[in-house]
């Protein structure tokens, strides 16, 4: 008797997040979604498509155009035992809620000596590469990573997105969940029958653990979110030139898994950090400083950074000149190998 292997379907990242949200809502009736046009429209990227039909408008709430009000309401709901998941429609729209996030949401647990938990997730489609207009292609993750009391994570692929959104929702702390919108349509095999581990231990470690996406021996590239795919392409090209490049997908920006990255750099002796946000005072600067401290005697070259320029995000027709593309990352690999 012959057996036929069950194929695992390929799912785009937007759908994977949708499936993760659904799984979390099914598991806990206190989980609810809030945001502009997330109900019958399903969100501008259709990430919440179909959820209002199955869970109703009381749990998939179409809000007014008021980001400060969305986050402020979520804080009140968290105080009453709910687990709200807020969608910020585009990255550049988060700034009206900046005060609520950084002076209230991030600090209430500390202010209450731990008596108040703030299990709030703020989903932020971020980054460029989709030809959007002004205020629709920002990368503000460093602003929130700088704020104590917030967890900041960014998946790079559908499998991580599915698991990490569930772990973020289960977290007792507020989580900024940055979704790379240019990767929403990237597909990967996703076995939804494998449950996400949402135990406290998994949230404390798994949600914030980096992973080696590609092993190598000569150079390490550290990236997260939308830049991981670009870094992998650069590593593949470098291999054709005889260079072995390891790619570390950081996954979490705050807290930062320095141990995994330091172990990689100790093996390779060189590090390139890539992210779409501006290099100036960006997250790459913190990573470079920490690795220099931890791996000073292993480093054979300075840590190099590749990212956006210290300028407002440009018009869509020249955004490819601004983003850390394949060629710029590969050039940094060549330069760090030249030392």
Torsion of CA 10, 13, 14, 17, to 10 degrees: 100
Give the global pTM.
Answer: 0.95
Q: Which two tokens stand for residue 283?
A: 């997250």
Q: For residue 290, which of 129, 123, 133, 145 has the smallest C-alpha distance? A: 145
Output the pLDDT for position 218: 98
Determine which of 54-58, 201-205, 302-306 has the lowest per-residue pLDDT on average: 201-205
CA distance 220 to 247: 6
* 311: CB partners within 8 A, 6+ apart: 278, 322
Q: What angle do CA 310, 126, 133 make, to 5 degrees?
A: 75
Under the banding of pLDDT at 50, 70 and 90, the label for residue 5 is low
Query: Over the stretch 183-223, which tens digit does the pLDDT of each residue have?
Result: 999 999 999 888 888 898 888 888 999 999 999 999 999 99
Output the pLDDT for position 195: 81
CA distance 130 to 115: 43
Residue 146 falls in the annotated catalytic set: no
Q: For residue 276, which of 332, 319, 215 has the smallest C-alpha distance? A: 319
Handedness of CA 261, 262, 265, 270 (dihedral sign): positive
CA distance 133 to 126: 13
Q: Which two tokens stand for residue 104?
A: 């209230």
Q: Are 53 and 102 in contact (CB under 8 A)?
A: no
* 304: CB partners within 8 A, 6+ apart: 271, 272, 273, 332, 335, 336
Q: Are 39 and 61 in contact (CB under 8 A)?
A: yes
CA-derived radius of gyration, the chain: 20
Give 144-188 as a DSSP string: HHTSTT-EEE---SHHHHHHHHHHHHH-SS-EEEEEEGGGTT-EE
Catalytic residue among 135, 136, 146, 310: 136
Largest Cα span, the chain: 65
Strand partners, 227: none
CA distance 333 to 116: 46
Whether the per-residue pLDDT at 297 is higher than 70: the answer is yes
Whether the per-residue pLDDT at 4 is higher than 50: the answer is no
Average pLDDT, the chain: 95
SS3 label, residue 208 = helix
Whether the per-residue pLDDT at 6 is higher than 90: the answer is no
Number of helices (H) and strands (E) in the chain: give both, helices first. Answer: 13, 14
Handedness of CA 61, 64, 70, 73 (dihedral sign): negative
Whether the per-residue pLDDT at 258 is higher than 80: the answer is yes
Enclosing H/E stretch for 79:
helix 67-79
Strands 175-180 and 121-126 turn out to be parallel
Instruction: Starting at the earlier edge strand, list the strands of the sheet with 304-308.
Output: 211-214, 245-249, 219-223, 271-278, 304-308
Output the pLDDT for position 3: 46
Whether the per-residue pLDDT at 246 is higher than 80: the answer is yes
Distance of CA 63 to the CA centre of its chain: 24
CA distance 24 to 44: 21
Q: Which two tokens stand for residue 162?
A: 């599915």
**How many Cα atoms are found within 13 Å in the side-chain-facing hemisphere of 79?**
11
Q: What is the pLDDT averaged over residues 170-177? A: 97
Enclosing H/E stretch for 308:
strand 304-308
Q: Are 229 and 183 in contact (CB under 8 A)?
A: yes
Q: Which domains does the chain have, with CATH numbers?
A: 10-208 (3.40.50.970), 211-337 (3.40.50.920)
């Amino acid at each position: 008797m012959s057996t036929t292997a069950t194929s695992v379907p390929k799912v785009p990242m937007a759908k994977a997040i949708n499936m993760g949200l659904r799984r979390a809502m099914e598991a806990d009736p206190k989980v609810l979604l809030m945001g502009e046009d997330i109900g019958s429209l399903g969100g501008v990227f259709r990430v919440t498509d179909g959820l209002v039909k199955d869970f109703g408008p009381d749990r998939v709430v179409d809000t007014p155009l008021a980001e400060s009000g969305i986050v402020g309401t979520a804080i009140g709901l968290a105080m009453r035992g709910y687990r709200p998941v807020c969608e910020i429609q585009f990255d550049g729209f988060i700034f009206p809620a900046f005060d609520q996030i950084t002076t209230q949401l991030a600090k209430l647990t500390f202010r209450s000596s731990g008596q108040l938990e703030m299990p709030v997730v703020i989903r932020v489609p971020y980054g460029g590469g989709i030809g959007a207009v002004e205020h629709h292609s920002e990368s503000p993750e460093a602003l929130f990573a700088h704020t104590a009391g917030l967890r900041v994570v960014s998946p790079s692929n559908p499998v991580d997105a599915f698991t990490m959104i569930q772990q973020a929702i289960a977290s007792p702390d507020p989580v900024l969940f940055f979704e790379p919108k240019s990767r929403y349509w990237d597909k990967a095999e996703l076995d939804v029958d494998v449950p996400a581990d949402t135990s406290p231990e998994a949230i404390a470690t798994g949600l914030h653990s980096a992973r080696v996406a590609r092993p190598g021996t000569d150079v390490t590239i550290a990236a997260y979110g939308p830049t991981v795919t670009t870094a992998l392409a650069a590593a593949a090209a470098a291999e054709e030139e005889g260079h072995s490049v390891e790619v570390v997908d950081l996954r979490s920006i705050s807290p930062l898994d320095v141990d995994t990255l330091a172990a990689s750099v100790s093996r390779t002796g060189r590090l390139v950090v890539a992210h779409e946000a501006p290099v100036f005072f960006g997250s790459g600067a913190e990573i470079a400083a920490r690795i220099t401290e931890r791996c000073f005697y292993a480093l054979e070259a300075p840590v190099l950074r590749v990212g956006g320029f210290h300028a407002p995000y440009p018009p869509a027709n020249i955004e490819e000149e601004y983003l850390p593309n394949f060629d710029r990352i590969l050039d940094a690999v060549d330069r760090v190998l030249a030392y």
